[in-house]
A and B are shown apart, each in its own frame.
Chain A
Amino acid sequence: MYSEKVMDHFNNPRNVGTIENASGVGTVGNAKCGDIMRIYLDIGDDGVIQEAKFKTFGCGAAVATSSMATELVKGKTVQQALEVTNKAVMEALDGLPPVKVHCSLLAEEAIHAALWDYAQKNNLTIEGLKKPVDDIEEKVKEE
């Protein structure tokens, strides 16, 4: 049911781990629905994402989207990272089964949550960044 890319990112997830004193950390999802993603970002003074790490509790798609999302934002500026949407994550993984689309939304949301944390810590306003929603299921329903 999963593409080869999804299976590759599930079997060999990139960027698993944590970052000590990360510039921003975002945790989204809840254990009730079975997916929790936490993304750590290390952002340089120039606003470029030096490193991205993740920890995820969830299904194969949740792990693969976390892995791909961290890959996509590495080396990007904060503004560029905001443009890494769930659709970009899905396309990079050659698609997801319909019931797993919410995993890609979770990945996008986790990146945004980490960026929000970074902005809060540094008193920055990032254009186009909204406060992350707590409950990803609400967002799924709106889509």
Chain B
Amino acid sequence: MIYLDNAATTKMSEEVFDAMKPYFCEQYANPSAIYSFAGSAAKAVDEARKKTAALIGARSEEIYFTAGGSESDNWAVRAAAAFGKAKGKHIITSTIEHHAVLHTCQYLEKQGYEVTYVNVDAHGKIKLDALEAAIRPDTILITVMAANNEIGTIQPLKEIGAIAKKNHILFHTDAVQAYGHIPLNVDEMGIDLLSASGHKFNGPKGTGFLYIRRGVRIGALIHGGAQERSRRAGTLNTPNIVGMGVAAELAARSLDERMKKEAALRDYLIDRILKEVPYSRLNGHLTDRLPNNANFCFEFIEGESLLILLDQQGICASSGSACTSGSLDPSHVLLAIGLPHEIAHGSLRLTLSGETTKEEIDFTVEAIKQIVERLRAMSPLYEDSIKRGDINVQ
């Protein structure tokens, strides 16, 4: 099997698993308990909090553990909206956010908030002038993702943070795809709230965190016990938190080297596809993109068919076609960068890991070439283009 869907989830590393094991059946104490038996669990949670914070230049006490990225996004956006409503009810976001942010914004619109969805350019970068122009006296939150989950484009966080700060507006970033994959620093980038998810960087599923800058007084997500400084009640998930901490530590240690390795392989993949598959295009920014992300469109074919045939060759990938989104529309991200529907339906996302090899990429490129040719041979769109003389077939 060749796993090229690391943006969907990653393999949990063995070191993470080993670190988690003692906290299921041996050190099972509630880390909030007072007796000494709970000491080991409490200490492990503290350690994890430190490691998680270190990767973004935050303080431990600014990390609030959650059950994942979507929870963190929901909490950040809803709580910031509630916190700011005395000042105003206007939120600014981008058109290419993950649904965890987009659908939360749509929910808030029903509650009487106004949301401006700022456009992105053809490479998926937010238009900073449009962002700045969207600011009103009643704007209370800017939420823009750190890097896009589909096309991998990295947003200019530092610039957005500066704009937010200048206008005294809270800045939240959904860093689910970026945390552990590219350098992030909450102070340098002026980030007030940051969401991340453990399983996107070789940690366990069902665990994430929200960074809340000290002094940002957004409300609690879950009321109950005093866990997470009374902002997110519920017994701490010790093994998962410990696992995410170790994953953060490993990610920090390997970051520079992994980024270089992944980016080199990604660029090799992009070069080969664009050179060897006619009528293909790269989606997203050529250089300001996640080191492990490649996203292509192949004209005249549809993504789900492509995925099924790749699967038959043991290759795991994903697509932004309507058939994979469960609706009739292709991905909102691909439409936002200006692709017509029929081209957006033929998208393919390949996301690498630090373990991906050149041999795997070569095998995948050969498979794609053969599958695209096969699907085009049965495509009426291809037939029409040849008849019209739009394309030349050797």
Instruction: Please give the residue numbers on chain A whose beta carbons come within 8 Å of chain B beta carbons, in ascending order.
Output: 7, 10-11, 13, 16, 18, 27, 31-38, 54-60, 62-63, 99, 137
Contact = CB atoms under 8 A, between A and B. Distances in A.
Contacts of B322: 33-34
Chain B interface: which size bin? 20 to 34
Nearest to A66: B378
Interface string B361-384: 000000000000000011111110
B209 interface: no
Contact of B323 (A7, A34, A37): A34
Interface of A: prevailing SS: mixed
B341 interface: yes
Contact of A13 (B326, B345, B378, B383): B378
7 contacts: A31-B341, A32-B341, A32-B342, A34-B341, A38-B380, A59-B323, A60-B308
Contacts of B304: 59-60
B6 interface: no
Contact of A36 (B321, B330, B377, B380): B380
B58 interface: no
Nearest to A37: B380
A62 B381 CA distance: 14
B300 interface: yes
Interface of B: 300-302, 304-305, 308, 312, 321-323, 326, 328-330, 340-342, 345, 377-383
A52 B329 CA distance: 30
A16 B374 CA distance: 11
A55 B312 contact: no
Given A32-B341, A32-B342, A56 B379 contact: yes
Given A33-B322, A57-B300, A99-B326, A27 B305 contact: no
A33 B301 CA distance: 13
